């Protein structure tokens, strides 16, 4: 494959976290994804808690570039009443447990230079992914792979292990004044 011949490899990867109450965590990770693809890196991007809506990124990313694998956990749990129904919570935990197994094999495979796990911090905070499992993943990261976790509520043990932590802080947001999410801007 032609892009394999030109593949760039990282000599040293890092573990990064984008967290905080402000807007832009996923957007920042997508900017990093684009930069990496433009430089010949291979990228695996997993959206863990984003609904199946026809978001702009979900419409374009799965076929954007041959060096990109872009996956969305197929659920809409985060926006539904399911998070208050114990059986649904258990089913989501099981689904994410399987995703974490796949994610670990992707991370250690050497096939990807950048692995982004969008909204994992929220999953940990909500009890859907055990913190211990996320820490295992971080500890198994090969030294030449960049790993990025996004989402509100990053756990302190993850922050301690990270080489880069960026906190998005809300100063002002039009949502607070009744402006709803706009297609093409917020999703």
- Reduce the secondary structure of 6-67 to three states and give it as a string: CCCCCCCCCEEEEECCCCCHHHHHHHHHHHHHHCCCCEEEEECCCCCCCCHHHHHHHHCCCC
The answer to the question of residue 184 being in a domain is no
How far CA 140 is from CA of 48, 83, 110, 134, in Å, comes to 20, 30, 12, 10
User: Domain limits at 85?
Assistant: 2-177
- Predicted confidence at residue 77, as pLDDT, reads 59
Domain total of the chain? 1
The answer to the question of residue 185 being in a domain is no
The b-or-e profile of 137-176 (16+ CB within 10 A means b, else e) is bbeebeeebbbbbbbbebbeebeebbeebeebeeeeeeee
The answer to the question of residue 183 being in a domain is no
- Predicted confidence at residue 92, as pLDDT, reads 85
pLDDT in tens, the chain (187 residues): 444 546 778 899 999 999 999 999 999 999 999 999 999 999 999 999 866 666 788 888 889 999 999 998 876 555 566 677 888 888 889 889 999 999 999 999 999 999 999 999 999 998 999 999 999 999 999 999 999 999 999 999 999 999 999 999 988 888 888 888 777 777 6
- Predicted confidence at residue 150, as pLDDT, reads 98
The answer to the question of residue 182 being in a domain is no
Bridge partners of 47, per DSSP, are 72, 118
The answer to the question of residue 186 being in a domain is no
The neighbour count for residue 83, using CB atoms within 10 Å, is: 13
pLDDT digits (tens, 9 = 90+) for 16-46: 999 999 999 999 999 999 999 999 999 999 9
- Predicted confidence at residue 2, as pLDDT, reads 47
Please give the Cα distance from 28 to 33 (Å, whole number). Answer: 9
The helix or strand, by DSSP H or E, that contains position 94, with its residue range, turns out to be helix 86-109
What would the two tokens of residue 153 be?
């509520």
- Predicted confidence at residue 90, as pLDDT, reads 85
What would the two tokens of residue 146 be?
């960049």
- Predicted confidence at residue 86, as pLDDT, reads 84
Domain containing 34 — which CATH number?
A: 3.40.50.300
- Predicted confidence at residue 52, as pLDDT, reads 61
Q: Is the pTM of this model over 0.85?
A: yes
- Predicted confidence at residue 180, as pLDDT, reads 84
């Amino acid at each position: 494959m032609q892009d394999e011949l030109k593949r760039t490899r990282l000599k040293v990867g890092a573990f990064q976290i984008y967290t905080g109450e402000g807007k832009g965590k996923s957007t920042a990770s997508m900017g990093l994804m684009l930069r990496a693809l433009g430089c010949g890196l291979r990228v695996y991007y997993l959206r863990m808690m984003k609904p199946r809506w026809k978001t702009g990124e979900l419409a374009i990313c799965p076929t954007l570039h041959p060096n990109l694998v872009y996956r969305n956990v197929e659920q809409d749990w985060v926006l539904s009443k399911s998070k208050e129904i114990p059986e649904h919570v258990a089913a989501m935990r099981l689904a994410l447990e399987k995703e974490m197994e796949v994610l670990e094999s992707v991370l250690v495979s050497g096939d990807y230079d950048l692995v982004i796990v969008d909204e994992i911090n929220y999953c940990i905070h909500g009890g859907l992914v055990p913190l211990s499992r996320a820490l295992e993943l971080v500890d198994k990261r090969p030294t030449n792979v960049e790993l990025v976790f996004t989402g509100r509520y990053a756990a302190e043990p993850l922050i301690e292990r990270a080489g880069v932590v960026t906190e998005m802080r809300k100063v002002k947001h039009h949502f607070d004044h009744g402006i709803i999410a706009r297609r093409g801007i917020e999703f």
